[in-house]
Structure 1
Amino acid sequence: MADLSLPGQDGLSRSISETPPTHYILKIQSFSQLTKHKIERYTSTDFEAGGYKWKLVLHPNGNKNKAISDHISVYLLIAESNSLVLDTAENGRRFHQMKPEWGFDEFIPHAAFNDSANGYLVNDTCVFGAEVYVCQEKLIGKGECLSMIKDAITYKNTWRVEFSSLTDECVDSKPFIAADQKWKIQLYPRGKGSGVGTYISLYLTLAEPENLPPASRIYAEFTLRILDQLNRNHYFGTANYWFSASHSTCGWPRFVSNGYFNLPTAGLLVKNTCLVEAEVVVHGMANGL
Structure 2
Amino acid sequence: MAWIIKASSDCTIVQNWREQPPSSYSLKLHNLSQLENSTAFSDPKYQSRLFSSGGHNWRLVVYPKGNEKDNGNGFVSMYVEIDSKSLMIFTPPTEVFPELRFFVYNKKQNKYLMIQDVEVKRFNALKTVWGLQQVLAFDTFKNPENGYIFEGDQCEFGVDVIVASPVTNWEILSFNEKLPDPKFSWTLKNFSELKENVYTSNIFFDWRKEMLYPKGDSRADAKWLSIFLYLAPSETPKADEKFFVQGPVRVLNPLGSNHSARQLNDWHTESNSGWGWSKFLSLVELRKVYLDKEDALNLEVEFEVVSATKYSTMI
Q: TM-score range by the shorter chain?
A: 0.3 to 0.5
**Normalization by structure 2: what TM-score?**
0.42
Larger Rg: 2
TM-score (norm 1): 0.45
